Chains A and B, each alone.
Chain A
């Protein structure tokens, strides 16, 4: 590799590692989101040039933050904004350390600017789509066109969404901070929810045209890793990271070359990412020992049961059924009850599962959800009641919206009809 390529690689690596930190610090220093992004961008551009000449600095993050901060200071000076802002920025510019724990301490006791940034991006007064987009832009460093492609919206729409969100943060006075103790649990749940949603957006990608969306899974895992590192005392952050790793490990096997869905049962287990499974499993085992379970930890434990079964037949369905029972205490939803019905059906026989499915059907809450008749169909098929199964698959086909899932249901239906 040439020296030029070395530098380009170092800058690219620094971008992945440091972008969020540089932007987060600059937002705190300047209070100006656009200026922060501009100056961060500028620092990375300068790095390409300067590192080639002077060599890659020992601490690239420190170099980038200082460079971006100096640039912001210049701009602010030229704009001659309020003297207080300028003083604050000037004090920072004198620091040797780019990251001074004493300075960064606020009421919450949390010190990392990236946490302030993610809590602000995920503030519940912002629309959900804006929270996701803003997190990807400012913390993960994706460009607006990249985010637009990932969410299948026109670039102008995404740009407008980001502008509006930043304007609301400024105009409505959304504070740039980690929330105080009385708001922290609820807001943390909100932040984890955004990262989970991000992952699911990528996970739902099924065809070549949607491959760009799959990159969202990697971003979500990266963000979950960051949160787990920044909030190690919050068991659910570790639970979320474990859950995402365990799902991500199976991501490539859930769709075949034709873009068709492959069920867990039929997936090629040898192609699962063993490193991710081991890391996720170790994480969830460790965190559950703290005795403060939550929905992400329990879902991770369920995913670990699946991921560690050598074959589909080795799956410990009784364990999974018990875990869904525990999950119901946190998430008393019809979807969780339906999943529990599947697990019970697998461990105690289709009839026990069908009885639970019937309970969910009686509630009527999932009347339009294709997985309700699809689940019943699957249990009927396993019970050998093929005519009834076929009718239930037909009902599911009326409700399904995703093409890959439609093809899957058609195949199942064909199997239930006498050839």
Chain B
């Protein structure tokens, strides 16, 4: 079995010290920048809609995680808009990661 560990911290925006337990079972992971730096992308009727911050209406569930490399936010938004969930009545949150 493979599992995803979704770790949470109180709001604050400080760079978190580490991204996960230092164990051989951990196969990868990133540290997310705070929610205030997020942009949510939805595609409705072919139009790309952006919202500042995380957009989580009730009835939506975190369903997948993808890591992408992009030149800037515009490129990341374009990639998010091409995500199947963005058009499927869902949304894709673009969250920068600490590097």
Contact = CB atoms under 8 A, between A and B. Distances in A.
A36 B73 CA distance: 22
Interface in A109-130: 123-127, 130
B15 to A, nearest CB: 11
Contacts of A173: 70, 72-73, 76, 96
B37 A179 contact: no
A16 interface: no
B42 to A, nearest CB: 12
Contacts, number: 41
B74 A172 contact: no
A174 B36 CA distance: 14
B50 A125 contact: yes
Contacts of B38: 172
Contacts of A171: 33, 37, 96
B36 A175 contact: no
Given A167-B37, A168-B36, A175 B52 contact: no
A174 B38 CA distance: 11
Contacts of A124: 50
B86 interface: no
B87 interface: no
Contact of A125 (B33, B52, B71): B52
A67 B50 CA distance: 39
B3 to A, nearest CB: 29
A124 B50 CA distance: 6
Contacts of B33: 171-172
A335 B37 CA distance: 34
A172 B73 CA distance: 6
Given A125-B39, A125-B73, A183-B74, A172 B96 contact: yes
B73 to A, nearest CB: 5
Given A124-B50, A175-B73, A179-B74, A164 B39 contact: no
Interface string A161-173: 0001001100111
B30 to A, nearest CB: 14
B77 interface: yes
Interface in A142-184: 164, 167-168, 171-175, 179, 183
A127 B37 contact: no
Contacts of B76: 173
Interface in B25-63: 33, 36-39, 50, 52-53
A125 B52 CA distance: 5
A125 B41 CA distance: 9
A123 B36 CA distance: 15
A72 B70 CA distance: 29
Nearest to A170: B37
Q: When A and B form their complex, which 10 residue pairs have the shortest distance between CB atoms, in order from nearest? A: A175-B72, A125-B39, A127-B52, A171-B37, A124-B50, A173-B72, A173-B73, A172-B37, A174-B73, A172-B73
24 contacts: A125-B39, A125-B50, A125-B52, A125-B77, A130-B52, A164-B36, A167-B36, A167-B37, A168-B36, A171-B33, A171-B37, A171-B96, A172-B38, A173-B72, A173-B73, A173-B76, A174-B72, A174-B73, A174-B74, A175-B71, A175-B73, A175-B74, A179-B74, A183-B74
Interface of B: 33, 36-39, 50, 52-53, 70-74, 76-77, 94, 96
Given A172-B73, A183-B74, 20 more contacts: A123-B73, A124-B50, A125-B50, A125-B73, A125-B77, A127-B52, A130-B52, A168-B36, A168-B37, A171-B33, A171-B37, A171-B96, A172-B33, A172-B37, A173-B73, A174-B73, A174-B74, A175-B71, A175-B72, A179-B74
Interface of A: 123-127, 130, 164, 167-168, 171-175, 179, 183
